[in-house]
Amino acid sequence: MHAVALEAFAERGYHGTSVPQILEAAGVSASSLYRLFPSKEALVNAVFLEAKTRLGHALAEVEGHDAADADRDPASVAHARFVRIWDRLARFAAEEPVTFRFLELQDHTPYLDGPSRTKELSVLAPLALTCMDLQRRGVLRTDVGVDVMLATLWGALVGLVKASRLGYLALDADKLAEAREALWRGFASTEPIADARTRRATRTNEGTKRRTER
């Protein structure tokens, strides 16, 4: 049932998909469906939870560190993390095209329930924390919000996959790497890491001093 509903929602969207269409494709009766899911909204949330869980598994362990990381330049280590994130997202899009197409839809918000919203946050949280940590370390730009970075990262891949699906772009490993490096150049700090740390420490000290003087 989930697989049939996933394909229907991915092709036509939530509002463009009717319960009778799902029943016909699945070859089940309405009573069988409603015993499992009391409404179309309950069904699409179950599909969303399963899809997001698979995406979370695809992104798992992108924070893994090699033993040699401690001796490498922080920017190089951060870039390697970024490559892992992008490559896993791209592989997910290639290996699970229907799931990816469902998740790329922009009209999820109105029907998501509490567990679905929690699942979405749980998938995004590790990536957001990584970006925040890299900003703190001076590796990523601080004038671009983490939410903007993540939205841009996802949106870029969605755009590439859509262009490929519509025949506007021959998407291959080289094109994916080209896009990935363009994003990295946009996110990476151009300020030397030591200077960035000094500047942040100065701002922190000045803020502490002002609070003390009040």
Complete domains list, the chain, with CATH: 44-213 (1.10.357.10)
- The pLDDT tens digits along the chain (214 residues) read 889 999 999 999 999 999 999 999 989 899 988 888 999 999 999 999 999 999 999 998 665 544 445 556 888 989 999 999 999 999 999 999 999 999 998 677 788 999 999 999 999 999 999 999 999 989 999 999 999 999 999 999 999 999 999 999 999 999 999 999 999 999 999 875 444 444 444 445 555 556 655 6
Type of residue numbered 14: Y
The whole-number pLDDT of residue 67 equals 45
The whole-number pLDDT of residue 108 equals 76
Type of residue numbered 138: G
Type of residue numbered 8: A
What predicted TM-score, i.e. pTM, was given to this entire model?
0.81
Dihedral of alpha carbons 118, 12, 151, 70, sign: positive
The whole-number pLDDT of residue 73 equals 80
Dihedral of alpha carbons 120, 78, 140, 87, sign: negative
The whole-number pLDDT of residue 53 equals 95
List CB contacts of 184: < 8 A, sequence separation 6 or more.
Answer: 79, 82
Strand partners, 188: 140
